[in-house]
């Protein structure tokens, strides 16, 4: 996801895709290894962003335990994703410190964006409705 992820409007290239902050679909998942936080990302993160990262251990190629970091997944979405039902928004609460995966792997209107929206937009919309009901 490039710099405009959750930031500026996506522009003409994005066609009918809205600004990311009004979509949020690709930040929803139940996979605890969905957004890896590499060393370069970790170095960029402050204390709050780091507090939203989990360290998961798994066997490395040599069979020895290997620790990898991932954004925590809570309630079906990245723990950094905010829900703002009053304004219909899905703000990334660590936007300036988000991982390179978030910056580069999806771009509004391109690549996997459309399939992410097709698969997850109803989930994102329901999460916003649930959040509104909770007040």
- Per-residue interface string for the shown chain with ligand SF4, residues 95-124, x marking contact by CB under 6 A: ---x---x---x-x----x--xx-------
Chain position carrying tokens 């829900």 = 83
* 5 vs 65: CA distance, rounded Å: 34
Q: How many residues lie near ligand SF4 (CB under 6 A)? A: 23
Tokens of 108: 């509004």
Cα torsion 126, 127, 132, 135 to 10°: value is 150
Q: Is 83 in the site for ligand SF4 (CB under 6 A)?
A: no
Q: Which stretches of the chain bind ligand SF4, using CB under 6 A?
A: 1, 6, 17, 20, 23-27, 35, 71, 78, 80-81, 92, 94, 98, 102, 106, 108, 113, 116-117
């Amino acid at each position: 996801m490039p710099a405009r992820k959750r930031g500026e409007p996506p522009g003409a290239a994005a066609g009918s895709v809205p600004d990311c902050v009004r979509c949020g679909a690709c930040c929803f998942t139940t996979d605890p290894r969905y957004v890896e936080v590499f060393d370069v990302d970790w170095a960029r993160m402050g204390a709050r962003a780091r507090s939203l990262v989990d360290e998961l251990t798994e066997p490395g190629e040599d069979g020895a335990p290997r620790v990898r970091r991932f954004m925590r997944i809570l309630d079906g979405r990245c723990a950094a994703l905010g829900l703002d039902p009053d304004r219909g928004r899905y703000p990334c609460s660590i936007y300036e410190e988000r991982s390179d995966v978030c910056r580069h792997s999806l771009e509004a209107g391109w690549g996997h964006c459309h399939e992410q929206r097709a698969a997850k937009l109803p989930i994102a919309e329901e999460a916003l409705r649930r959040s509104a009901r909770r007040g």
